[in-house]
Structure 1
Amino acid sequence: MQLNLKEILTAFMVLFAVIDVIGNIPIVIDLRKKAGHIQSEKAAIISGVIMVIFLFLGKSLLTFIGIDVNSFAVAGSFILFFIALEMILGITLYKEDEDTSSSTASIFPLAFPLIAGPGSLTTLLSLRAEFRIENIIVAVIFNVIVIYIVLKTSTKIEKILGPNGIKIIRKIFGVILLAIAVKLFTANIKELF
């Protein structure tokens, strides 16, 4: 097992930008109002489990259904691109279901697809091509801890940052995500031709 601090930090930052848990605070607060309560532990653990399982089985699963990693990464780059546009332009492209109870809100849409969604799953496969698996797992665990803390303290964070602070953070991460989407697209589109 070779832990590399640079790889862990890079993988952590990329996943953190893709998951955008700070930018999702308004959605979390909205879900909390609709559902009455969100099980932060459940949402964080389930999203972490989904990400680790996909890290190990994602490639095999894609091969089984006849999709190569590069095609999945290109498709994922489009999803990241649209998520980034949502963040930068303040528009909503993804519409969630209205049916929300406390337990379902913790799993859907919070754990999946907001936290462990197509963007983060695609990113995990891309990271796996570049980094050692144990470094990615450590980065996922750190992200799950941050997700849990943010979900648990989302109302306090919203009060501290205020609506404008959250908008600014969301736009900054939107630009970072857009850059990641472009890099993901250009790196993988070459492999397809």
Structure 2
Amino acid sequence: MSEFMVTALATLFVAIGPIDTAIVFGGLTGGVHRPERFRLAWQAVLIAAVVLLGFALFGVQILAALHVTLDAFRVAGGILLLLQAIQLIFGHPAGLSTLTAGERREALEPGDIAVFPLAFPVIAGPAGLTAVVLLMGQAQGDPLRAAVVLGSIAVCLALAYLGMVFTDVLHGILKTTGASVIARLAGVILATLAVQFIFDGVRGARLFA
């Protein structure tokens, strides 16, 4: 159980990326007053929590309805997370949860950015949603393991909120170099977990049996 707890927390921390979220949030809200920043951060985290919770509770059932086995999703999800890890390790600016140039331009237009792009795809991005479904699949209906996954989601969302609220302080402490070092270390951890997901999927599907 302790190993599963560490795996769940590490996977979701890297996939959701509270530090990356704080950096993006700071860039999008540079001219926004502090009370408005608090509102945007709270709304974004709340919406992302609803999306992640929906995938956690119904993701496996949706896969079953689509006649997709969990082992197939483990392989596909592992590849997706591996791509995210490669982006982090090599410092590529176009990760799975980052914004394209067009999305960034749209986000800077007048309007509420809590839903897009903060809640999705910055916080509850493809990597985070994939990780949630994979971890709930690993729980295999065990209520305690499922509670661990949900608790890990809550912890990562709380860290994302704190990162957004204190984005100026975080940027002042880490600077660009510190954030890059943390991102690369997180990428190595995520790559290892992603490969394990792929191994588990191949083993469960018995492709080489």
TM-score by length of 2: 0.79
Q: Structure 2 vs 1, CA of residues 84 and 156 (structure 1 numbering), >3 Å: closer, same or farther?
A: same
The 2-side partners of 1:45 and 1:109 are apart by 14
Worse-superposed segment, 126-135 or 79-88: 126-135
Matched with 1:91 is 92
- Partners in 2 of 1:74 and 1:110 — Cα distance? 28
Q: Name the larger-Rg structure.
A: 2
Select the residue among 153, 175, 188 that pairs with 1:175: 188
Give the corresponding residue for 2:115: 107
Q: Percent identity?
A: 24
Q: Letter of the aligned partner of 2:125 in structure 1?
A: G
Q: Residue 21 of structure 1 aligns to which amino acid in structure 2?
A: P
Letter in 2 for 1:164: T
Aligned to 2:179: 166
Report what 1:80 is aligned to. Answer: 81
Q: Is 1:8–1:138's contact at 8 Å kept on the other side of the alignment?
A: no
Q: Does 1:147 align with 2:160?
A: yes
Is residue 2:169 matched to residue 1:156? yes
Matched, 1:121 2:129: yes
Report the Cα distance in structure 2 between the residues aligned to 1:129 and 1:99, rounded to whole angstroms. 35
- Label 1:93 to 1:123 Cα distance change in 2 as closer, same or farther (>3 A): same
Cross-structure match for 1:133:
146
- What CA distance in whole angstroms lies between the structure 1 residues aligned with 2:202 and 2:87? 23
**Shift in Å at residue 31 of structure 1?**
2.5
Per-residue CA deviation, residues 108-145 of structure 1 (Å, 9 max, x unaligned), is: 23222222222222222222233321221122111211
Residue 8 of structure 2 corresponds to residue 42 of structure 1: no
CA distance in 2, matches of 1:123, 1:60: 16
* Cα distance in structure 2, aligned partners of 1:73 and 1:108: 28
Give the counterpart letter for 1:66 in structure 2: H
The CA distance in 2 between the partners of 1:171 and 1:184, in whole Å, is 20
The more displaced of 133-142 and 85-94 is: 85-94
For residue 67 of structure 1, give the secondary structure of its aligned residue in structure 2. Answer: coil
Shift of 1:66: 2.7
Q: Alpha carbons of 1:80 and 1:7: their partners in 2 closer, same or farther (altered >3 Å)?
A: closer
Aligned residues: 190
1:128-177 Cα offsets, whole Å, 9 max, x none, are: 23332122112211121111111111121001111111111111111111
- SS of the equivalent of 1:182 reads helix
Q: CA deviation at 1:34?
A: 8.6
Taking a change above 3 Å as real, the CA distance of residues 178 and 102 of structure 1, as seen in their structure-2 partners, is farther
AA of the residue aligned to 1:68: T
